[in-house]
Amino acid sequence: MQEALDNAACGLLQTTADGTFVRVNRLFCQWFGYSADELVGKRRFQDLLTIGGRVFHQTHWAPLLQIQGSISEVKLVMADRAGTPISVVVNALRRTERGVVVHEIAAYIARDRDKYERELLLSRKRLEALVAEATKLQAEANERELFAQQMMGIVSHDLRNPLSTIQTGAVLLARGELSPGQQRLVARISSATDRATRLISDLLDFTQAQLGRGLTVVREAIDLHATVAEAVDDLRLAYAGRKLVHEPVGAGSVQADANRLAQLVGNLVSNAMAYGAPDVPVTVVSKIDDGACSISVHNHGPAIAPDVLPHIFQPMSRGTEVGRASRSVGLGLYIVSEIARAHGGRTSVTSFPDQGTTFTVVLPR
């Protein structure tokens, strides 16, 4: 019996109910620097505990062992003969032997476990520090983004008034008797003002979308073809040197925001004029089917690169490089996608060198 105890891979001991050692194996004695004769009948298990361990033994260990009859995986700090603390994990069982209550205890040195727990605690602290830093950086980035968007909205809104004054002045000047050179100058002022006004509208819509509110639409029964035709007529004036064709397909009314659809057509046509071949017409098709309607704008010219197509409707994205005079901030197609989304619709694009580029917006009727 004692030989089996001595050959065990853990510390094994038996005590009386008050903790006095009855039996102890060789490994336990080696760990703590005592012989079996120095422990059995002369010392108690709690005598080898540190002060904190003794308090725990008295307030938790003994009552718990008496109530439930066993204890599993309890970590204690014991002291060897020289007073060096040793962390152990113990399991205990309370049983009766020949009418006497005894405690069977198995102990395991917890050095590796302590090291693991310390490393785990340090890793957790490092992770918490990294999360806190990342959270701080994210909050700062969100604040900067919100400030930039708010400033963009404020500046864009405040620019509308002086632009409106310039536009009114250009209209009044155009009514007077002007030389051909003056007429061209007034026309350029009016065109530049229109372009700046559209840009401001895009910036305001971008700000509204980015702040999480989405674009607002007012749905009502409209004549889709008439709405698109009116927008195309206005655009013909803005692009007097280019050919713009409108093709209506199908019939019936749709529930949509006419002003937003006119804005959508304007952005798609402006994009087609900027990137399309100048000697080939830009075609706008408005189509009405049973359950849906669509608006598509087609132009010939350089194809959009395949790696750009998946991101073409994202803000600040452009299909190809164009001249400085035709550059924009890259919000037009993003606003198109937001208008479509506000209507519960979707956007798509196809682009091939031999077939040209077609942007299509499909909306529920």
Which candidate, 299, 306, 291, places its Cα nearest to that of 345?
Answer: 291
> In terms of DSSP bridges, do strands 244-249 and 282-288 run parallel, antiparallel, or are they unpaired?
parallel
Sign of CA dihedral 161, 162, 168, 171: negative
Assess whether 183 and 245 both reside in one domain.
Answer: no
User: Rounded CA gap, 103 and 23, in Å?
Assistant: 10
Q: What is the CATH number of the domain that holds 153?
A: 1.10.287.130
Q: Tens digit of pLDDT for each residue in 131-182?
A: 999 998 888 878 877 776 676 667 666 777 787 788 788 877 878 888 888 8
- Tens digits of residue pLDDT in 211-229: 666 778 889 999 999 999 9
Last residue of a domain, one of 109, 131, 148: 109
pTM of the model: 0.53
301-321: b or e for each residue (b if 16 or more CB lie within 10 Å)?
bbbbeeeebeebbebeebbee
As a whole number, mean pLDDT of residues 103-120 equals 79
* Beta sheet of 21-24, edge-to-edge order: 21-24, 11-16, 100-109, 85-97, 70-79
Q: Which of these three, 87, 109, 131, is where a domain ends?
A: 109
Contacts of residue 279, Cβ cutoff 8 Å, sequence gap at least 6: none
Question: What CATH number is attached to the domain comprising 61?
Answer: 3.30.450.20
**pLDDT > 70? residue 346:** yes
- Surface-to-core class of residue 267, CB atoms within 10 Å of its CB (0-12 exposed, 13-18 middle, 19+ buried): buried
CB 351 within 8 A of CB 319: yes
Give the three-class secondary structure for 99.
coil
Q: In whole angstroms, how far apart are CA 64 and each of 17, 45, 114?
A: 13, 16, 24
Residue 215 lies in a domain: no
Quote the CA–CA distance of 34 and 47 in Å, as a whole number.
13
Report the number of distinct structural domains present in the chain: 3
Q: 220: how many CB neighbours lie within 10 A of its CB? A: 11
**Residue 173, domain extent:** 117-210
Residues 231 and 343 in one domain: yes
- Give the residue from 327, 297, 318 showing the smallest Cα distance to 195: 327
Least confidently predicted of 34-38, 57-61, 213-217? 213-217
Q: How far apart are CA 209 and CA 248, in angstroms?
A: 30
Please choose, from the candidates 228, 156, 152, 233, the residue with its C-alpha nearest in 3D space to the C-alpha of residue 197: 156
Domain boundary among 210, 229, 252: 210
Query: Is 301 within a domain?
Result: yes
Mean pLDDT over the full length of the chain: 85
| pLDDT over threshold 60, residue 77 | yes
